[in-house]
Amino acid sequence: MLKLCSVNNNYVKKVLGGFIGTFRYRSLTSITNNNNDDNEENEEKIFSELNKRFPNTSKLPDLSKLDPIMDLNGTIIDPPLSTLTTRPSSIITAPETESDDTDVLSAITGLSSVEIRDLQKKALVIKRVKNQTAKGRVVSMYVLVVVGNGNGVAGFGEGKHEESPTAIKKATNQAIKNLRYFERYDDRTIFHDIEHKFHGTTIKFFARPPDISSKIFGSRNGMNVIKCTFDAFNSQRLPQQIARARGKNLFDVYHTYYGAR
């Protein structure tokens, strides 16, 4: 045990001597860095001491100096931001700035572009709806729009989309495609009183001066009321139909039914 301890002690002394030498080298280099004028002389003293103690050690490189091969010459300056090339981002067109469909609607309906732009448009129903699919619950916006020119031409359309502006645009285009002309008595009202039912909604229309009055029974759901109104106006009997059915002159029908002279 004593021999092993003596051997181990000798080995430890050698190892500690190496560590002490390196510690002295680091301490001496830190001291010499404070005196820039005596750097070279101090380095020679340090390496002479190291060579005496460790003859196989080589001179360590000075990392504070630039290497002619590994280091770049001159200063590195970041390029200006204006010259950097970046990937162009895709331009997303907002629904409000989409191209106008006036030309397409004009070709479908036969109306001029001016007549289509002058139409009165009103979104009467805007609501959020959900549709359950295999992928999950899909949320979208439902819009019902009524379009007319204020002189007997009207139509309604429905549109559904994730965004309200796009849904309104789709409903408006559909309403313009569904435009039709409604005959009016004296260009102001319906020819006779009408009672019409659509699902749970019943509406009674009365020909009253100056134009028309109505009363709703049952459901007052906006979609049902609008669809019931258009169906009722389509179902009114015109004087030409009454005259043809009774085999009478149109003038006599006007005089008998409407008191026209």
Are 196 and 238 found together in one domain?
yes
CATH code at 177? 3.30.160.20
Range of the domain at 133: 101-181
Are 188 and 177 found together in one domain?
no
Task: Choose between 244 and 39: higher pLDDT.
Answer: 244
Are 226 and 209 found together in one domain?
yes
Are 166 and 111 found together in one domain?
yes
Residue 93 lies in a domain: no
In sequence order, what are the beta bridge partners of 159?
143
Residue 64 lies in a domain: no
Are 219 and 177 found together in one domain?
no
Are 198 and 235 found together in one domain?
yes
Residue 191 lies in a domain: yes
Q: Domain end: 32, 53, 74, which one? A: 53
pLDDT(135) > 90: no
SS3 231: helix
Residue 248 lies in a domain: yes
Residue 69 lies in a domain: no
Q: For residues 242 and 250, give the distance between their C-alpha atoms in angstroms, rounded to a whole number.
A: 8
Are 189 and 126 found together in one domain?
no
Residue 233 lies in a domain: yes
Instruction: Note whether 160 and 143 are within 8 A (CB).
Output: yes
pLDDT(86) > 90: no
pLDDT(247) > 90: no
pLDDT(12) > 50: no
Residue 77 lies in a domain: no
Are 32 and 105 found together in one domain?
no
What backbone torsions phi and psi does residue 196 show, to the nearest 5 degrees?
-135, 145
| Domain tally, the chain | 3
pLDDT(197) > 60: yes
pTM over 0.85: no
Q: What is the mean pLDDT of residues 2-7?
A: 45
Are 153 and 208 found together in one domain?
no
Q: What is the mean pLDDT of residues 23-38?
A: 52
Instruction: Note whether 217 and 204 are within 8 A (CB).
Output: yes
Q: Domain end: 149, 181, 213, which one? A: 181
Q: Is the peptide bond before 209 cis (omega within 30 degrees of 0)?
A: no
pLDDT number for residue 158? 96
Are 165 and 110 found together in one domain?
yes
Residue 78 lies in a domain: no
